[in-house]
């Protein structure tokens, strides 16, 4: 039985590779992609999503549904220095996608699909959690009918990538992350920097991609991403943040999870977006999320390459 999922993205470079993984994975039934504002604008994220789907001739039957153009309360915080002006590292610039955008909005689409198949549909979020938060606010019952929610976000051991303590997705919309974490979703998993920082795509991995257009896309889209990582860490590689979230949905044995009580900071001068783990139970609250603490990174990269090489 294929696992049904809605993929919520802010298509930047790693979201794009995550989309490729989700579409090509035989284990998954991708019932829709919802787009939002994050790395880039909603419009750019939507355009990039369509271009990536066209790259692999993905079925036109996969709905692409636009969501929120801004965080719940804040102004957008784009990440062009990492993802490039276009959002996918300047790859596919000459591509004009004719792909139809499904009418309606992401929150309504998420609600409709979860409620029409109770207990069967999961949501994997690889951008800020704005669309999912809006779905929960509009129809709280989805909390009891969604099969599983996995989000790429947070940094449980407190080392951020956009501020000293906050990861980009929870920083970009901390109020949305707070709504999701406080909603009481029974099967909620955080795939944070603690594990995604180990999932490093290198030139060696890219050179094993057999399909020329896919190989060229990975090489071109990640070039600046890998260069930036080299300048910071001395390794020519880039973290597969979003693909790992999808990888965990495909095969949860890739990671070790710990049940944690976590809150997101939304009202501080220095720590907004920080995912705060109450390790000692000071708040007396039950665990609200399974946090990925360890990952078999090379086994994940092998899975990623194997799936991308499927015809
Ligand atoms: O911190 C990494 C996350 O922020 C990834 O989802 C990346 O695409 C950016 O959105
Ligand atoms: Ca993303």
Which residues, 6 or more positions from 31, have their beta carbon under 8 angstroms from its beta carbon? 4, 5, 6, 62, 63, 113, 121
Q: For a pocket test of ligand 1, which of 89, 150, 155, 168 has the largest count of ligand atoms closer than 8 A to its C-beta?
A: 168
Closest-lying ligand to the alpha carbon of 79?
1
User: How many whole angstroms separate alpha carbon 1 and alpha carbon 4?
Assistant: 9
Q: Position of tokens 């890739």? A: 254
The closest-lying atom of ligand 1 relative to the alpha carbon of residue 245 is 6
Closest-lying ligand to the alpha carbon of 8?
2
pLDDT less than 50: residues of the chain: none
User: How many whole angstroms separate alpha carbon 63 and alpha carbon 114?
Assistant: 15
Q: Respond yes or no: is residue 278 known to be catalytic.
A: no
Query: And the tokens for 297?
Result: 């990174």
User: How many whole angstroms separate alpha carbon 150 and alpha carbon 245?
Assistant: 7
pLDDT at 233: 87
pLDDT at 311: 83
| Ligand 1 neighbours (beta carbon < 6 A) | 10, 12, 14-15, 38-39, 126-127, 152, 161, 167-169, 241-242
């Amino acid at each position: 039985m294929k696992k049904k999922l809605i993929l919520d993205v802010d298509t930047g470079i790693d979201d794009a590779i995550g989309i490729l993984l989700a579409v090509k994975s035989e284990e998954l039934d991708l019932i829709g992609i919802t787009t939002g504002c994050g790395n880039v604008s909603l419009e750019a994220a939507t355009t990039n999503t369509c271009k990536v789907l066209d790259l692999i001739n993905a079925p036109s039957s996969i709905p692409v549904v636009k969501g929120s153009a801004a965080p719940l309360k804040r102004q957008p915080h784009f990440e062009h220095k990492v993802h490039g002006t276009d959002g996918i590292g300047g790859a596919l610039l000459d591509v004009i996608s004719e792909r139809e955008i499904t009418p309606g909005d992401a929150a309504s689409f998420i609600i409709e699909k979860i409620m029409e198949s109770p207990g069967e549909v999961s949501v994997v979020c690889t951008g800020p959690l704005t669309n999912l938060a809006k779905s929960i606010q509009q129809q709280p019952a989805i909390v009891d009918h969604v099969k599983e929610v996995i989000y790429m976000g947070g940094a449980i051991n407190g080392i951020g990538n956009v501020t000293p303590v906050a990861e980009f997705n929870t920083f970009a919309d901390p109020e949305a992350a707070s709504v999701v974490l406080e909603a009481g979703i029974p099967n909620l998993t955080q795939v944070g920097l603690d594990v995604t920082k180990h999932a490093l795509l290198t030139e060696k991995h890219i050179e094993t991609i057999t399909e020329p257009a896919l190989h060229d896309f990975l090489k071109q889209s990640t070039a600046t991403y890998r260069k930036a990582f080299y300048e910071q860490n001395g390794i020519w590689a880039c973290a597969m943040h979003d693909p790992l979230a999808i990888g965990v949905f495909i095969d949860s044995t890739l990671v070790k999870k710990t049940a944690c009580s976590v809150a997101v900071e939304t009202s501080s001068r220095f720590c907004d977006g920080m995912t705060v783990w109450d390790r000692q139970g000071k708040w007396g609250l039950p665990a609200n999320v399974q946090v990925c603490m360890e990952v078999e990174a090379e086994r994940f990269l092998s899975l990623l390459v194997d799936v991308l090489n499927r015809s």
